A and B are shown apart, each in its own frame.
Chain A
Amino acid sequence: MSKFPNIFIPAVGGAALVMGVAYGFASRDYGADKIEVLESRVQQAEASVSVASEKAAAEADRAANLEQKISEVRTAASERVASGANLTAPAPVSESGYGLGRPAHPEEIAAWDVDVLPDGRGLPEGSGDVYTGEEVFVEKCASCHGDFAEGVDNWPVLAGGFDTLSDEDPVKTVGSYWPHLSTAWDYIHRSMPFGEAGTLTADETYAIVAYLLYSNDMVDDDFELSHENFTEVEMHNAEGFVVDDRPDLEYSAWRAEPCMENCKQEVEITMRSVFLVETLDEGGTESVMNQASAKGLPSFTADGPAFIPTAEIKPAEEASATPDAQVEEEADHGAQLLAAGEKVFKKCKACHAVGEGAKNKSGPQLNGVMGRQIGAVEDFGYSSVFQTAAEEGRVWDEAAMIEFLAKPKEYMKGTKMGFGGLKKEADIQAVITYLQSFDG
């Protein structure tokens, strides 16, 4: 389409040139003795003018036609754009199907379709009592959730919290908040214990759920839960939920044209950020309490801030590095490595304790692990690969630990440890330094 104007402009220009030359000849004044000659030339010129003007007229017609066509194409294009039609289209759906994929085997469906619906559909046959549940729970769940389902560190609290839902920090437990018991059974059975998902039997799951009901004072200690009495359990917060009602309560009110000017008289700063989040060069963050107060900050009106506070000297500028600091820094390298190791160890803390009074969690306690025999912590249920290593008298020396921490599952094939390994060599060195600082 863009080629049309290029063809058409030189054609019109050429016609104009012919007409200009013809006019120049006709207007010139010459002597009478030349009149005849000139007249004949004028006639010739007139003849060419007439040919030229015919040509010009023809060109003009063509040009007009082209212009007409261009405008038609443009109109059609803009109509297409306006109507939203273009050549993009949603992916087609074949009515007869594509014949892709294959039918699923019943065994495959049974293996994967394990969800349990609120009305109990999907529950396998089985049962478990509170007493058994406590045993299983202490062994497999308590390292994170606590012996009484009270939650360790930041891990979820599973019991209690009744009558806290209207508090500022509601305690949302299986007892206080969960509306369906099926949710607990389903989740525990398929996703717990953390790092060993999918290993609980149906009976173990019934037992753990029975223990959780007991921990929440919802059943007595002689209670046994099974697929037959499952739906009889009444959940405390079953009626505590409403389906999303934002459309009625919020959207209807918040779809009005907003205020643009003089929307408030005065604005004050009522709160400053609780935490200053420092971003670290090695990645991650360090949160520091913000000591600054909102006092001394200006209020605002439509004219701007009430005043401009004088510049504050930032702590970072005061404590700029001096040459002495650099020397100290080098001497401090060991301490830094230790500190870095402590940070890396946060990745291990969920399952391993270290330090005074450290106990076994889902992983063994690690006091004195460096130099110690592999698989030697008392009362810890090691996987067979560790037992074999212990029998062989293998020791956690630095080389072994480096290799293990880099690729746990390769170095100790069959380890129960869920952790995938430390990618950075520096992290491994740091965490080993950290572990070396704890004697057995």
Chain B
Amino acid sequence: MDDLFKSKTSRRAFLQGSAAAVAGSMAGAAAASEPDPLITELQDWASYTGAGVDETPYGMPISFESHVVRRNVEWLTASPISSINFTPIHALEGTITPQGCAFERHHSGAIELRKEDYRLMINGLVETPLVFTYEDLERFPRENHVYFCECAANTGMEWAGAQLNGAQFTHGMIHNMEYTGVPLRTLLAEAGAEVSADRWVYVEGADASSNGRSIPMEKALDDVLVAFKANGEALRMEHGYPVRLVVPGWEGNMWVKWLRRIEVTDMAVESREETSKYTDVYEDGTARKWTWVMDAKSVITSPSPQMPIKHGKGPLVISGLAWSGHGRITRVDVSRDGGITWETARLGKQGDTKALTRFYLDIDWNGAPMLLQSRAIDETGYVQPTKDQLREQRGVNSVYHNNCIQTWYVNAEGVAENVEVS
């Protein structure tokens, strides 16, 4: 009994001592010498009754978290109907993105399409062109997989140098969900599709943009899913309710929403989305096409411009995300000095293939400025390149596929800023 009491008092003394020690560097650090009224005084919430069970039949985040939302940067596009917004990755943890704050990209706006009105056609080079209803899709054997979906333009602004101050805006065109769906190969087999290597699958949506894309047969037979659930519930309207395509590891534009037609063809359609857009212009003016795979990439989500260090010196959790369209993330290194010295980070859990992996570096921050960087390594041994490496290869005219190492300058007050370094 005595021992227990002693250890309590000594712990309190320790807390007071350490609080006093850092008080100088912490804005608004409470003096621990006064008893905390949150503890000593009866609080409303401990006295009154709270909300009843049906207060929010479908729960929303508590109002205190109302800042953790998707946000757009209006001047990037001509109209919010053909535009993009960004996942608040800086404020999320773990790896699964809640649907309600997962980024949106529409080419002609998000449409409302009822399950009852949903039809999926498979035609082209098939034995029997077929039409499926939503209920038909539910009767095929299905699978569950966690995959990231990254817009090819994620980090695209940064080709021109440090542009937007915030991980949400530099890296937020990404989300990571558990999908439930029918393998595309199952539906192709059902229609008796020609599946030789020189065949293509053209997929399009039911919205006004249709957003058609051509997928080589090899990929179509591999891991593509015709998905109707995400994170256990129906897809959200903005993510293609009731059915979207999931094309693991490949650019988000190919993940056709409101999927209405699958056509087997003998050549790529070369639609607007795979010629005028989503192609990468080199320095000499020639362009790369069919750049489908999203290469390995990572970013530190905290600290970051929207997540400054507020607690001063001492224990600091550096937290970030890594992913690769080529498979699993096997390692992430973190630098605190702009790439002079690297330390291997701890992975939150072994990453799934083509899914986000959380990494951590737990440090004792000495209060000195840092240049924080992270670099991802995937199971193929590919190492995330620096901005200089990418520019040397591709120039700066590109919009898409910028998977460079990101740098945050963290000053002595813990404020972080998007910078470029030599």
Chain A interface residues (CB < 8 Å from chain B): 90-94, 97-98, 100-104, 108-109, 112-113, 115-119, 144, 153-155, 165-170, 172, 174, 177-180, 182-183, 186-187, 190-191, 194-195, 197-198, 240-246, 249-251, 254-256, 258-277, 279, 281, 283-285, 287, 290, 294, 297-298, 300-302, 304-305, 308-309, 311, 314, 346-347, 349-350, 418, 420
Contact = CB atoms under 8 A, between A and B. Distances in A.
B185 interface: yes
Contacts of B208: 191, 194-195, 197-198
Interface stretch (B228-236, B270-278, B345-353): B270-278
B162 A177 contact: no
B389 A254 contact: yes
B342 A270 contact: no
Contacts of B122: 101, 104
A101 B136 contact: yes
Interface of B: 66-67, 69, 71-75, 77-82, 107-109, 121-124, 128-133, 136, 139-143, 160-166, 169, 182-183, 185-186, 189-192, 202, 204, 208-210, 212, 260-261, 263, 265, 267, 269-272, 275-276, 279, 281, 283-293, 295, 305-306, 333, 337-342, 368-371, 375, 377, 380-383, 385, 389, 393, 396-397, 409, 411-413, 415, 417-422
Contacts of A116: 269
B73 A277 contact: yes
B250 to A, nearest CB: 11
B80 A347 contact: yes
Given A101-B131, A180-B275, A271-B420, A255 B380 contact: yes
Given A165-B281, A179-B275, A180-B270, 10 more contacts: A101-B190, A191-B209, A197-B209, A241-B279, A242-B286, A256-B383, A261-B341, A276-B165, A284-B74, A301-B340
A169 B210 CA distance: 28
B73 to A, nearest CB: 5
B288 A346 contact: no
Contacts, number: 315
A109 B128 CA distance: 12
Contact of B397 (A168, A308, A311): A168
Residue among A109, A169, A267, A347 with the highest chain B CB neighbour number at 10 A: A267
Contacts of B412: 308-309, 311
Contacts of B338: 264, 267, 300
16 contacts: A103-B128, A103-B131, A104-B123, A115-B202, A115-B269, A194-B82, A194-B208, A195-B208, A244-B292, A254-B385, A283-B71, A285-B74, A287-B73, A302-B337, A308-B368, A309-B412
A170 B160 CA distance: 13
A183 B275 contact: yes
Nearest to B286: A240
A97 B269 contact: no
Contacts of A269: 371, 409, 419-422
Contacts of A169: 397
A135 to B, nearest CB: 23
Given A244-B292, A420-B109, A260 B260 contact: no
Contact of B166 (A190, A277, A294, A297): A277
A271 B409 CA distance: 11
Given A98-B139, A290-B165, A273 B418 contact: yes
A113 B125 CA distance: 12
A273 B340 contact: no
Nearest to A97: B190
A115 B263 contact: yes
A245 B286 CA distance: 12
A197 B333 CA distance: 48
B74 A166 contact: no
Given A91-B142, A346-B74, A251 B189 contact: no
A256 B276 CA distance: 34
B289 A241 contact: yes
Nearest to A172: B276
Contact of B271 (A115, A258, A287): A115
4 nearest CB pairs, A to B? A165-B285, A267-B338, A154-B78, A197-B208
A302 B339 CA distance: 9
B270 A267 contact: no
B340 A309 contact: no
A297 B407 CA distance: 14
Contacts of A180: 270, 275
Contact of B383 (A187, A255, A270, A297): A255
A300 B335 CA distance: 12
Nearest to A239: B286
Contacts of B369: 297-298, 305, 308-309
Nearest to B76: A154
Residue among A251, A263, A269 with the highest chain B CB neighbour number at 10 A: A269
B77 A273 contact: no
B382 A255 contact: yes
B101 to A, nearest CB: 12
A269 B275 CA distance: 37
Contacts of A108: 121, 131
Nearest to B305: A273
A258 B342 contact: yes
Given A92-B141, A154-B77, A301-B340, A285 B72 contact: yes
Nearest to A279: B71
Contact of B186 (A93, A170, A285, A290): A93
B65 to A, nearest CB: 13
Contacts of A251: 380, 382
A411 to B, nearest CB: 17
B108 A90 contact: no
A162 to B, nearest CB: 11
Given A198-B208, A242-B288, A284-B74, A267 B371 contact: yes
A342 to B, nearest CB: 12
Contacts of B81: 194, 350, 418
Contacts of B109: 418, 420
A112 B285 contact: no
Contacts of A179: 270, 275
B285 A170 contact: yes
A90 to B, nearest CB: 6
A274 B383 contact: no
A250 B66 CA distance: 42
Nearest to B120: A101
A418 B140 CA distance: 36
Contact of B164 (A92, A93, A174, A277): A277
Contact of A255 (B73, B160, B190, B381): B381
